[in-house]
Amino acid sequence: MARKKLLAGNWKMHKTRAEASEFFQSFTKLLGNVGDVTRSVEVGFGVPPTLFDTCLAKSQGTGVKILAQNCHYETHGAFTGEISVPQLLDAHLQGSIIGHSERRQYYNETNEAVGKKWNVLVKAGLLPIVCVGETRQEREAGKTLDVVKTQIDEALKFVSDEARSKEFVIAYEPVWAIGTGLTATPEQAEDVHKVIRDLLTRTFGEARSSTIKILYGGSMNAANCKDLLSKPNIDGGLVGGASLKPEDFASMVLTAKGLS
């Protein structure tokens, strides 16, 4: 079954509300008939909470998904600075990035926390984009496949049987490729994506596995996305820097549309 591609921007800690408005004005204009585009390619943006309302208002009726970049796995409580899944629902978001390497690295996000977040997000009907990926040292030590498999398997221990049946997306983001301009070659990325697909097939069965999107992230841009997106198990991208500029990201979305 052909999987619809998903291009998701991760804006990280960028943009004011005025900048987000300007972005959407240009981005939607560049795409032309946005509704038509999002019927063949899924498009989303992980944005900071201060931009939720602006992005939702500016993308209304386009089919573009607005996502969080993180969430807590508890529904409420004394967790200063955190945001809960009920709060994301209340804000009309459609999902959240979880387990990004920056959160694993700077905020000690563990596989257990990633699994618990995955569990509560899908139970609330929201889409988790579950990030995995190895560091440069791990790749050089030949541990890439083990690292990625462990990240998924360990997180899955905290996802209930019921929650496992709900839609999720995996994003393979080699840490050494994030924000560095060093992209994994399409072959390097496809090798890992294929291993992730095999793991998903063992866990969920062939039919279900063939529907699960696996995104690539790490210095993906307008120039290199076509070769990456042409690989059989690369179902889209999680895009940092290049998603901040409407021209670059619109061009990537249209490239993905051309491949669909």
Alpha-carbon distances, residue 214 vs 6, 44, 57, 82 (angstroms): 9, 15, 28, 27
**Helical packing angle, 144-156 and 186-204, nearest 10°:** 30
Q: Which of 42, 134, 173, 235 binds ligand 13P (CB under 6 A)?
A: 173
Q: Which stretch binds ligand 13P (CB under 6 A): 119-127, 134-142, 199-207, 232-240?
A: 232-240
The CB-of-218 to ligand 13P minimum distance in angstroms stands at: 5
> Binding of ligand 13P at residue 218 (CB under 6 A)?
yes
14 is catalytic: no
Is the separation of the CB atoms in 231 and 197 below 8 Å?
no
Q: Is 178 in the site for ligand 13P (CB under 6 A)?
A: yes
From the CB of 228, what's the least distance to ligand 13P, in Å? 12
User: How would you label 199-217 residue by residue, b for 16+ Cβ within 10 Å and e otherwise?
Assistant: bbeeebeeeebeebbbbbb
- Which one, 67 or 120, has the nearer CB to ligand 13P? 67
Task: Please give the backbone phi and psi of residue 41, each rounded to the nearest 5 degrees, phi first.
Answer: -130, 130
Interaction of residue 133 with ligand 13P, rule CB under 6 A? no
Show contacts with ligand 13P in window 23-42 (CB under 6 A).
Answer: none
Helices (H), 10-79: 17-31, 34-40, 52-59
User: Does 217 interact with ligand 13P (rule: CB under 6 A)?
Assistant: yes
Q: Alpha-carbon distance 112 to 28, whole Å?
A: 38
Rounded Cα gap, residues 223 and 227, in angstroms? 9
From the CB of 65, what's the least distance to ligand 13P, in Å?
Answer: 15
Q: Is 173 a catalytic residue?
A: yes
Tell me how far, at minimum, the Cβ of 249 lies from ligand 13P, in Å: 11
Residues that bind ligand 13P (CB under 6 A): 10, 100, 173, 178-179, 217-220, 238-242
